[in-house]
Amino acid sequence: MDRWSRTHEALRTAALELFATQGYDATGTAEIAARAGVSEMTLFRHFPAKEALLLEDPFDPLMAEAVRSRPPGEPAMRALTTGIRAVWNGIDTDAAEALRARLRILAGASGLHGAIERNSAATSDALVVALVARGSSEVGARVAATAVIAGLGVALLEWAQSDEPDPAAVLAAALDALGGGVDAALR
């Protein structure tokens, strides 16, 4: 891992630790930088705002690529649900727990709800681009991506507040419902 990546990860780790113990609103960027052993200016070179420490999503490019690689004639909702399912099935326990920690902090910070919506829009945009590259219309791609991201957001926030260790079952049920499958857990 290069120096940039180590610093980036140190900042995210420090932020998550402080947010989890003190709360998002009570934690300042200077404190995060000090915990990571860097200056506050360095923090802002890595993250444009404090909220980015929580919202930067490593799964977006993976999901977009998985959707882009689906067969061209496949309907948009199927491409989304199947592609996203493939990515989530590859998420390891450590990544799942890091996601849960981030989601719990996000859910508890009312001032971040607008930021969550902006971040979800960026995820939707990445999926729209992937669907259009496969031949979907812009409008159809936007409708499908928005529906899937909204549904996954509900499922992930529910999972983050639960004691369920693995998001796979919750996400599978949500993707089944979004893809038109019948799942007793969501009825």
Q: Which fold has domain 3-50?
A: Arc Repressor Mutant, subunit A (1.10.10)
Quick one: pLDDT at residue 180?
65
Mean pLDDT in the chain?
88
For residue 187, pLDDT over 60 is answered with no
Listed in order, the ranges of the chain carrying CATH 1.10.357.10 are 57-186
Amino acid 55: pLDDT? 85
Confidence of residue 185 (pLDDT cuts 50, 70, 90): very low
Which of these, 166, 174, 167, lies nearest to 149 by C-alpha position? Answer: 174
Q: How confident is the model at residue 73 (pLDDT cuts 50, 70, 90)?
A: confident
Q: Is the pLDDT of residue 27 over 60?
A: yes
Under 8 Å between Cβ of 38 and 7: yes
- Mean pLDDT for the stretch of residues 101-118: 81
Cβ-contact 166, 90 below 8 angstroms:
no
CATH code for the part of the protein at 57-186: 1.10.357.10
